[in-house]
Amino acid sequence: MSRSAQYTVGELEISVVSDGEFRLDGGAVFGIIPRLMWEPVVGRENIDDQYRIPMGLNCMVVRHGSEVLVVDTGMGTKLTGVHRERTFPGDYGHLLDELAALGIERGDVTAVANTHLHADHCGWNTMHDASGKVVPTFPNARYFVQRGEYESATHTNERTRGTYFAENVEPVKAAGLLELVEGETQIMRGAAFLPTPGHTPDHASILLQSNGETGIYTGDLVHHAVQAERPVWIAAFDVLPLVTLESKKAFVERAVRENALLICVHNAFPGVGRLTELDGKRTFVAE
Ligand SMILES: [Zn+2]
């Protein structure tokens, strides 16, 4: 089964490319929302005997001319031991194969952008080379990260250290490929950061704009599309949930107003759709 899907935003060619899937505790994904309410949304048949639910790892490729931008890089192949078995159980590490199927080799990628540096969003930033050394996966790319997010990743606390791994970032910095940016920085023509703090203090979605069309790669502003329909549904992972609420309200207004193509990283593949008003209710309509 192919794990990439094609879209356009104006002149930009968009591919949603899956690194695979993992499973997370459903209660954690839905925060204060009782299981009574989220279970019918997820579907009982999708919940395993450990109350875990499937989480997609939908990365985005944006192509325009010779530019190739990869947004978020999934879980990668470096996790082992307790992280692989307990924290992030799943079947993943497929991003490079999917890129190759699209005719994209590692050396073709000109830019990488991470919405944030949690382990499920930057795993393929780096990889083991033949000698076992961890090196940047995309040797010709500039890697764009919000400066504040880099600070969070490198100054962890008891709560955050379980998901920030130096091996996903430091080899990139050592190779001189890391671009620390602030706010609404442009990454390539038509693609820029859209700060959406809350999940982390400097979390940023990716805004696509071309020929009057809009696309938004959400990152972890939402962990499931229903959290766009219902802004108060916020994951327990968010370090600043009330900030998430404000970010999400602004995002939802814009998504509806501009009929934006939304790419939701953790929805079932491909996680793409638009938020539309149906009978006064905001509804995520998949594409
Ligand atoms: Zn995530």
pLDDT one-digit tens code per residue, 215-238: 999 999 999 999 999 999 999 999
Q: Please report which confidence band the pLDDT of residue 6 belongs to, taking 50, 70 and 90 as the band edges.
A: very high
Q: Any bridge partners for residue 242, and if so which?
A: none
Look at residue 38 and tell me whether its pLDDT is greater than 80. Answer: yes
Look at residue 183 and tell me whether its pLDDT is greater than 60. Answer: yes
Using the mean position of ligand 1's atoms as its centre, give its distance from the Cα of residue 195 in Å: 16
Residue 260 has which token pair? 């934006």
Q: Any bridge partners for residue 29, and if so which?
A: none
Distance of CA 125 to the CA centre of its chain: 13
Using the mean position of ligand 1's atoms as its centre, give its distance from the Cα of residue 265 in Å: 7
Q: Please report which confidence band the pLDDT of residue 279 belongs to, taking 50, 70 and 90 as the band edges.
A: confident
Look at residue 69 and tell me whether its pLDDT is greater than 90. Answer: yes
Residue 192's pLDDT is 98
Using the mean position of ligand 1's atoms as its centre, give its distance from the Cα of residue 274 in Å: 20
Q: What is the DSSP letter of 115?
A: S
- Record the pTM: 0.97
Tens-place pLDDT, residues 136-181: 999 999 999 999 999 999 999 999 998 999 999 999 999 999 999 9
Using the mean position of ligand 1's atoms as its centre, give its distance from the Cα of residue 279 in Å: 31
Using the mean position of ligand 1's atoms as its centre, give its distance from the Cα of residue 69 in Å: 19
For the chain, the maximum distance between any two Cα atoms, rounded to a whole number of angstroms, is: 59
Look at residue 1 and tell me whether its pLDDT is greater than 60. Answer: no
Mean local confidence (pLDDT), 80-103:
94
Residue 2's pLDDT is 61
Sign (positive/negative) of CA torsion 158, 248, 69, 284?
A: positive
**Strand ranges (E), the chain:** 4-9, 12-25, 52-64, 67-71, 90-92, 111-113, 126-128, 134-136, 142-146, 178-181, 186-188, 191-195, 204-210, 213-217, 261-263, 272-278, 281-286
Using the mean position of ligand 1's atoms as its centre, give its distance from the Cα of residue 266 in Å: 7
What is the average pLDDT score of the chain?
A: 96
Using the mean position of ligand 1's atoms as its centre, give its distance from the Cα of residue 149 in Å: 14
Residue 83's pLDDT is 87
